[in-house]
Amino acid sequence: MPWQAIIDFQREIYLTFAGHIKAFAAGGGWLAFLAFLPMGIAFGAIHALTPGHSKSVLATYLAGSSMKAHRALLVSTALSFTHVGMAVLISLLALPLVSHSFGDAGSAPLLQAVSRGLLGLIGAWMLWSALFRHAHVHSHGEGIAFGFMAGLIPCPLTLFVMTFAMLHQVVVTGILFALTMMLGVGITLSAVALLAVLFRDQLSRVLATRPRLLAAASKSIEAIAGVTLLAVAIHEALFA
């Protein structure tokens, strides 16, 4: 799907959502809003296709791990939940960190700096793992922890949606829409997770007779990802 089509689709859903929020805040009932609410799933799924959302981090981590598909889905679910949930919590508990101006809604410079730091930490961890860990096996708990860590970078569009709902004093509508967005984001990230596991399994079959080459390839993928994430974090910190 072309980027412009994605942008246009998001804009159409958001403007419709904004209209329902205004109508609800003006005394409208739940029926129209709840009927529109499932569109948040499509909104989240399409939005997750845009740059960000830790898709490359998730895919690289799973491609270099030994996780089966069902555990990879747990990691993607943890990432989706944290990514959207953090934005909701920030909006509810730390609103001063987010601009109160509607035109700048979703802008949070301090949080962006924290996000860059987390991105660098993930990159450093992946690089250390590739260079110094003898066995490339990731435990169940480690995978879930990775999902939460990668998802700590909050979704800026969820911040925007929550800020809009809070400005109209109908916070519950923002929370409900965020939940449906979370489902949509989860669908896209789960697809990425399954594709990464499929790629890894296919690579394992090709290199099954050469275990040393397979191990080297897995560690190389993780090391390259770690270096890339560190470089991105440093670049954004210096030039953002």
Secondary structure (H, E, C), 4-40: HHHHHHHHHHHHHHHHHHHHHHCCCCHHHHHHHCCHH
Mean pLDDT of the chain: 79
pTM of full prediction above 0.85: no
Q: Give residue 139's pLDDT.
A: 60
Written as six digits, the tokens of 172 are: 């519950």
Contact 188, 45 (CB under 8 A): yes
Q: Give residue 192's pLDDT.
A: 95
Q: Give residue 182's pLDDT.
A: 95
Residue 197 neighbours by CB under 8 Å, 6+ apart: 62, 63, 67, 68, 69, 72
- How far apart are the C-alpha atoms of 68 and 91, rounded to whole Å? 35
pLDDT tens digits, residue range 193-213? 999 999 888 877 877 777 777
For the chain, which residues make up each domain, given as ranges?
3-118+131-208
Mean pLDDT of 33-45: 88
Q: Give residue 179's pLDDT.
A: 94
- How far apart are the C-alpha atoms of 29 and 88, rounded to whole Å? 24
Q: Give residue 103's pLDDT.
A: 41
Residue among 176, 208, 201 at smallest CA distance from 41: 176
pLDDT tens digits, residue range 107-164? 455 656 666 777 688 778 878 887 877 655 556 677 888 888 778 777 878 888 888 8
